[in-house]
């Protein structure tokens, strides 16, 4: 198959693209290298893909409809990962997040409709569940109280996808990713940031009382679930949780990082942050049933792999 991956130079996108190439698919990546974080991080993420047979990179914005349509030439399916990420930054730029995440998705789906692409996988987020206390989170739970503009943009994206499926019979699967981590992770994300601070002898910020919990999911498991959704052939609309199914408190995460780097880390107490939610926890039974999704990498093993990657690729460049 020939697959278009929007945001394919990013953290999840680069791994999805690499796996697709490894299994023999052709991959077209569209990425605008948004300065949300250092461009060099993305370039390093896809440097091993450049020059491989079947790989094309188009540096372009998904808002550029003519370029997007050219990128879709000969494409069988689309993995739409391009988006502005981050809960806290979205509070400062809500309009931009809506424009990029919601309008950008409309442009991708419009281009698919006009070029005849009938199967699309779209990245959503666990943030759509808001400040729920009842766990685990199920796909049938109401998601009508988002805690940040980012979360609202992702929920709106899901509704747009449902509408395009209803009107235009495009098979669309939205995947609610739960706190993905691993090599090439964005530098502002918690595990990358905490490991970086600890290895350089700086304290790790402890937001709130340390009891907030997250369902950390290793990148390999996310890629497996994404490809399983991509390979499923139907014209329905689906939403699936992709998580690790084992929420971990912030305090326990910091303890696990200390163990992974074999160093006791210092703590810097911080207040709760606007837009944060107390817990995320994925009910993955639907993904297990329909996609064969089964997370394999524990937090401890994932941290071990991430620290090895960081020491080899990031400390060596410092």
Q: Answer yes or no: 150 catalytic.
A: yes
Q: Which of 19, 8, 13 is nearest to 231 (CA)?
A: 19
**Cα distance between residue 227 and residue 13, in whole Å:** 12
Sign of CA dihedral 179, 183, 188, 192: positive
Q: Which of 8, 86, 79 is nearest to 45 (CA)?
A: 8
Structure tokens at 282: 């994925």
Which of 37, 97, 129, 150 is labelled catalytic? 150
**Cα distance between residue 287 and residue 13, in whole Å:** 20
Phi, psi of 316 (to 5 degrees): -65, -25
Burial readout 94-126 (b: 16 or more C-beta within 10 A, e: otherwise): eeebbebbbbbbbbbbebbbebebbbbbbbbbb
DSSP of 187-216 = TTSHHHHHHHHHHTTPPEEEETTS--EE--
Structure tokens at 79: 């993995």
Q: Annotated active-site positions, please?
A: 150
């Amino acid at each position: 198959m020939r697959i278009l991956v929007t945001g394919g130079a990013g953290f999840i996108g680069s791994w999805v693209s690499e796996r697709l190439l490894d299994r023999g698919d052709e991959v077209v990546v569209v990425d605008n290298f948004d300065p949300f974080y250092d461009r060099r991080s993305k370039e390093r993420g896809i440097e091993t893909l450049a020059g491989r047979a079947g790989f094309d990179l188009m540096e372009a914005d998904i808002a550029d409809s003519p370029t997007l349509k050219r990128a879709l030439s000969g494409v069988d399916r689309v993995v739409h990962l391009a988006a502005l990420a981050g809960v806290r930054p979205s509070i400062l730029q809500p309009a931009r997040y809506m424009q990029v995440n919601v309008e950008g998705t409309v442009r991708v789906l419009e281009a698919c409709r006009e070029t005849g692409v009938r199967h699309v996988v779209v990245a959503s987020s666990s943030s759509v569940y808001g400040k729920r206390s009842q766990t685990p989170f199920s796909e049938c739970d109401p998601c009508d109280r988002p805690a940040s503009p980012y979360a609202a943009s992702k929920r709106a994206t899901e509704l747009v996808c449902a509408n395009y499926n209803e009107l235009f019979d495009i098979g669309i699967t939205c995947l609610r990713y739960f706190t993905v981590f691993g090599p090439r992770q964005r530098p502002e994300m918690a595990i990358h940031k905490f490991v970086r601070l600890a290895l350089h002898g700086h304290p790790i910020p402890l937001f709130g009382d340390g009891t907030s919990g997250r369902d950390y999911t290793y990148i390999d498991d996310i890629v497996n679930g994404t490809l399983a959704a991509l390979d499923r052939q139907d014209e329905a609309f689906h939403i699936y949780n992709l998580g690790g199914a084992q929420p971990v408190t912030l305090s326990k995460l910091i303890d696990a990082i200390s163990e992974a780097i074999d160093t006791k880390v210092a703590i810097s107490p911080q207040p709760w942050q606007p837009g944060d939610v107390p817990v995320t926890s994925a009910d993955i039974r639907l993904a297990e049933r329909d996609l064969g999704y089964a997370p394999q990498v524990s937090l401890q093993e994932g941290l071990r792999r991430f620290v090895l990657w960081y020491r080899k690729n990031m400390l060596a460049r410092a």
